[in-house]
Every structure is written in structure tokens, then in C-alpha cells.
Structure 1
Amino acid sequence: MITLSYTGNRLPRALGLAGVIPFILLGLASHVPWKHQADVQTALVSYGAVILTFVGALYWGLAMRREGTVASRAYFWSVIPSLIAWVALMFPTFGGALIVIVALWTQYVQDTILSPELSVPEWFIPLRLGLTVGATIGIAIALPPIWTM
């Protein structure tokens, strides 16, 4: 039987960093002029939207461990990133990319507000900061060629 075990934050960090790789690769690939360049750029924004949905869903899971106002706020917030992601996908690629960047940073700010009340591990906020920076860099790399399309 195969088991995954870790101590501290090694596994979440490794998985999180692996999740940044598509942002960077798609951001760089957005500069390659070929017939699928626009598709690569759309894939980047779509991946960002999927990640927004994931980070919002974390709060649904955290809310299930709580009651009262804190749980209600976490449940409410858990659906907001998905709604923002959906809107981002309806915009042209450049606008969608900007929406995803702003939403990722808004999510990070919300993380810093809600996390203390939800008793998240101490490594969560530093990890989220690093992942937000990495995702933002990947999308920002792609902004110049997206703008000129």
C-alpha cells in the first residue's frame, strides 16, 4: 500500500510550487509566435480561474470545522473566488488576466484576515504569499503579448 506522509509543510509546499509551474510555463509560452499563441494565453487565464476556485474552496472546508459567524463568513467567502473566476473567463484575455491577478491578491488579503479565526497552520500564509507571487509573475509575463494580440 502506498501512503503519503509528511512532516510540517513539505507536501503542501511541493504541491503548491508544482501548481505555479503552469503559470510560468504558459506565461513564457505566450511569447512564442505561432498559430496557437492565443490558445496558450487563454489556457493561462483559464488555469488562473481554476486556481481561484481552488483557493476559495479551502474556506468551505475550513468552515465545516466551525460554527457561528466565523463559519458563515468562511462559507460566504468560499464561493466568491469562483464567481470572480467565472466573470474573468467571460472577458477578453487581457481583461481576464488582470481580473485573475487582482482576485489572487484579494484572496491573499482575505486569507490574512480569515486565517487567524479559522486556526490554519502557521505555514499557510507564507505559502499563500509565495504562490500568489509566483502566479502573478507567470500571468504578468504574458501580459505584453496578450496586449498586442
Structure 2
Amino acid sequence: MNDRTVTPSPNSAAAASLRGVNPVALRLGYAGLIPFILGAALVWLVREDAHPYVTDGLSRYAAVVISFLGAIHWGLGFRQTVPSPTPFIWGVAPALLAWIASTMPAYAGLVIEGVLLIVCYLVDRRLYPSLGASAWLTLRFRLSAVAALCCFIAAQGT
């Protein structure tokens, strides 16, 4: 397996902010935005009778992604030399909240999921440095901003 990291040109500040991020994770992270973007667009393009399918699909995908963001804290928590319950407690909270949001009507649930994506980023911004994951914050910001915006746009279209 190749453990290469992104080696940006020294002139690119944006590329430099992603130094140390695995290029496979980078590509998959951006590819993970496709369902968010497609879902938000389809809410505005499909017939009214198809709305529930589009909004449910987007809400469920958002819930899975939010659960994944929480689960990352479990993995980072296992690496701690001084055990702390914080990453494990936080690791469960987003999944539970996203699950509740995914059972709500889309106009409310998608808003909650958009807010959860932002909150997850803010928590990560505070905790990642202490867990040795600072290199991921630029990518996390970009992915969270687009995903949250898509949830808000889709909620507005319901």
C-alpha cells in the first residue's frame, strides 16, 4: 500500500494547508460530497411526488456521514496514551442526534443535520490538535461547509 502524502507546490497556500493528508482520503472525501450536492440539486429539480425519496435519501446519507465523524473520535481515542472519556462520549453523540434528525420531516431534520455537520467541525477543530489530527482540519472545513450548505439548501426546497 502506498503511504504517499500530498506534496503541494510551495506557491500554493491552499495546497500547503493539505500537506500531510493522504491523497486517497482527499479524493474520497471530495467524492463523498457528490450525494450531498446531487441531493440538494434534485430537491429543486424533481417532481413533487419524488421529493420524499430525495430528501429521505439525503437525510440518511447525512446521518451516516455525521456518525462517521463521531466514530473518528473513537479511533483517535484508542491512540491516547492518557485515557480520557471525551473522544468516546463525543463519538456517540453525533450518531444519536443524526439518527433522531433522520426520523424527522426533511424541512427540520436536514437543518439539524446541517447544524450537526458544523458542530462536528467545531468540536474537531478544538480536539484534533490534542489528538494529533491537525493536518485534517482544512479538508474537514471544506467538506463540512459544502455538506452543511447542501443540507440547508435541500431543507429550503422542501
* Alignment TM-score, normalising by the size of structure 1: 0.88
Task: Tell me the equivalent position of 1:26.
Answer: 39
Task: Tell me the equivalent position of 1:40.
Answer: 54
Task: Tell me the equivalent position of 2:79.
Answer: 65
Task: Tell me the equivalent position of 1:6.
Answer: 4
Task: Tell me the equivalent position of 2:17.
Answer: none
Give ranges in structure 2 of 5+ residues lacking alignment.
6-19
Aligned mates of 1:144, 1:74 — CA distance in 2? 33
Aligned mates of 1:19, 1:95 — CA distance in 2? 23
Task: Tell me the equivalent position of 2:120.
Answer: 107
Contact 2:108/2:155 (<8 A) preserved: no
Greater shift in the superposed pair: 73-82 or 33-42: 33-42
Give the letter aligned to residue 139 of structure 2.
L
Give the superposition deviation at 1:112: 1.0
Aligned mates of 1:144, 1:60 — CA distance in 2? 33
Give the superposition deviation at 1:67: 4.1
Give the superposition deviation at 1:138: 1.6
Picking from 108, 113, 119, the partner of 1:95 is: 108
Aligned positions, number: 142
- Structure with higher RCO (Cα < 8 A, 6+ apart): 1
Give ranges in structure 1 of 5+ residues lacking alignment.
none
Give the superposition deviation at 1:5: 4.2
Greater shift in the superposed pair: 94-103 or 137-146: 137-146
Give the letter aligned to residue 79 of structure 2.
R
Task: Tell me the equivalent position of 1:135.
Answer: 147
Give the superposition deviation at 1:4: 5.0
Give the superposition deviation at 1:113: 1.1
Give the superposition deviation at 1:79: 0.5
Give me the CA root mean square deviation.
Answer: 1.5
Greater shift in the superposed pair: 17-26 or 131-140: 131-140
Q: Which runs of 4+ in 1 moved over 6 A?
A: none
Give the superposition deviation at 1:141: 2.4
Contact 2:106/2:155 (<8 A) preserved: no
Deviations 1:14-43 (A, max 9, x none): 111000111000100111232322210111
Give the letter aligned to residue 77 of structure 1.
W
Q: Does 1:51 align with 2:65?
A: yes
